[in-house]
Every structure is written in C-alpha cells, then in structure tokens.
Amino acid sequence: MSPARDQSPQGRRRPLVSGNWKMNFTHLEAIQVIQKLSYALDRGPLATVEVSVHPAFTALRSVQTVLDADEIPVALGAQDVHWEDKGPWTGEVSPPMLAKLGVRYVIVGHSERRQRLGETDEQVSMKLRATLRAGMTPICCVGETAEQRDAGETDQVVLGQLGSALEGVAPAEVATMVVAYEPIWAIGTGRTATPGDAGQVCATLRREVGERWGAEAAAGIRILYGGSVDERNAASLLAGDDVDGALVGGASLDPVAFAAIAAAAAAATA
C-alpha cells in the first residue's frame, strides 16, 4: 500500500472511519445499507477522510459489487481472517480469498474474538502478518477490561497486546498499519473513554511504536479509537492529535449516523 494514499493533502495522516457491522445484515440487507450510506456520505469530507465498511463474510461479495458498480469511495473491509493461505481449516476464510474480493482492511484481534472466542495473542500476530503478506492492511485491536483499568494496568495491557501483535513486523510495514484502541468496557455499552483518556492511550501507543519501530513508523501508523462512538461524541473523541479516526460498531449500522461520524472526523482534521 502506498503511504501517499493515506496522507491527506496537507500531509497529515488521513483519518480512517471504519464501520464494523459485526454479525448483522444478510447480503441483501447489506446492499441496502451500503446504498443508503452512499447517499448519506457527503463527498466533500471524503477527500480528507477514508471510510471503510466491514460486512460479514457472506455479504462481502455483494457489497464489493455495489461499491465498484456505483463507484462509491468506501473501502471494503473484513472482520477477521485466518493465518493460513489454504488447507484443512473447516469454516475459515484465508487472506488470498479476501484480497481477491478487493478487501483492503482486515480487523484482527477484536476483543469479542479474544474474549468470547478464545483468540490468543499468538493467533492475532499470525493473522496480522498473514494480512500484510496478502497485501491488505490490518486494523489491530487492543484494549483493556474494566478490572484492568481500575487496577491502573491500561498502558501495560495495551502495550503488551501491541508488542505481541507486531512482533517481527518490519518498520516500513508498521507505518502502513492501523491500530484501534478499544477499551473493552466501552464496546457496545454506551460508555466511552473521555476524549482525554482516549487521546492519552493513543499517544502512548504511538510513542511505543516510535521507540520500537522508529520515527517513520510512528508518524505513519494510524491509531483509531473505538467503543460506543456515535454521531454526538465523535467530534470530541476524534479531536486529539494522536487519534486518527474511529472504529465504529453499533452506530455504523445506521448509515446516516455513520456518515455523520465520517463528517465529524473530517471536521476534526480540518
């Protein structure tokens, strides 16, 4: 992926607003949602903000067809991937399968997969590297539980997850990647981190990238905030210098709300 594509005309990192549709929408429903989103998105902000949608595997092909046919400037994303290219893995989907469909972004290590489906740090790391190998961009999720936060362990937890996920990844590739800071207690709960806390953790993550992978990687990597982002709180959550956009769950199911979040991200960078 060319770094230039991810820079706004001013040379700042181009914000990314990603809609994680989770286990919602049949492929027919997804077609309607993407068409409504296309109407709702103001093409103006899209010059400075990149938008991606992450349908379920069953809807990827349909959404990709609509995006292509109508030339909708929204990137196609997946919610997960396997780390092997092919083989005896019943039910899994491989990186080349997604790349061939035109998928550009792949969420890896979402807390729902880590916590509810037992995904390990090692698997997250393998998925991340497999995504890069196939020419796609990982959106690597990190985040602490409420207990870890109360115990003052937020930095330690998110830096541990980051270090393990990015182990062995070259600095030039780290520069093209996306990390999403998603405090687990804020996901789907209506509770958000304060803009100050979100900005601080994103800054801590960027500092760590700088220390371990160098200044260029730190300047290039995009760090998103996720966890109950909606059209009302997006502007303040995305205002921090180190917050390069949002990973949006619930509010991304409503095309009008999601478009408003994209517009808020554009305004935050203006």
Just list the catalytic residues.
110, 182
Segment near ligand PGA (CB under 6 A); pick from 7-15, 25-33, 67-75, 224-232 = 224-232
Whole-number minimum distance, CB 178 to ligand PGA, in Å? Answer: 12
Residue 178 sits in the site that holds ligand PGA (CB under 6 A): no
If the CB atoms of residues 192 and 269 are measured against ligand PGA, the closer one turns out to be: 192
- For the chain, how big is the Rg over CA atoms in Å? 17
Residue 94 sits in the site that holds ligand PGA (CB under 6 A): no
Which of 229, 259, 262, 266 lies at the binding interface for ligand PGA (CB under 6 A)?
A: 229
Element at 245 (helix H, strand E): strand 245-248
Contact call for residues 3 and 176 (beta carbons, < 8 A): yes
Stretch 14-73 residues interacting with ligand PGA (CB under 6 A): 20
Using alpha carbons, select from 101, 172, 103 the residue that is nearest to residue 139. Answer: 103
Segment near ligand PGA (CB under 6 A); pick from 91-99, 201-209, 210-218, 220-228 = 220-228
Q: Is 146 helix (H, G, I), strand (E, B) or coil?
A: helix
Contact call for residues 66 and 39 (beta carbons, < 8 A): no
Segment near ligand PGA (CB under 6 A); pick from 60-68, 77-85, 180-188, 200-208 = 180-188
Contact call for residues 140 and 125 (beta carbons, < 8 A): no
If the CB atoms of residues 59 and 248 are measured against ligand PGA, the closer one turns out to be: 248
Tokens of 265: 């991200």
Backbone angles phi, psi at 258, to 5 degrees: -65, -40
Task: Report how far Cα 209 is from the mean position of its chain's Cα atoms.
Answer: 17
Using alpha carbons, select from 96, 92, 88, 59 the residue that is nearest to residue 76. Answer: 59
Residue 199 sits in the site that holds ligand PGA (CB under 6 A): no
Element at 86 (helix H, strand E): none
Segment near ligand PGA (CB under 6 A); pick from 128-136, 171-179, 209-217, 244-252 = 244-252
Whole-number minimum distance, CB 246 to ligand PGA, in Å? Answer: 8
Residue 227 sits in the site that holds ligand PGA (CB under 6 A): yes
Residue 233 sits in the site that holds ligand PGA (CB under 6 A): no
Residue 187 sits in the site that holds ligand PGA (CB under 6 A): yes
Other beta carbons less than 10 A from residue 60's beta carbon: 24
Q: Is 147 helix (H, G, I), strand (E, B) or coil?
A: helix
Stretch 120-139 residues interacting with ligand PGA (CB under 6 A): none
Residue nearest to ligand PGA (CB): 249
Alpha carbon distance 162, 268 (integer Å): 26
Which of 30, 174, 248, 259 lies at the binding interface for ligand PGA (CB under 6 A)?
A: 248
Binding site for ligand PGA (CB under 6 A): 20, 182, 187-188, 226-229, 247-251
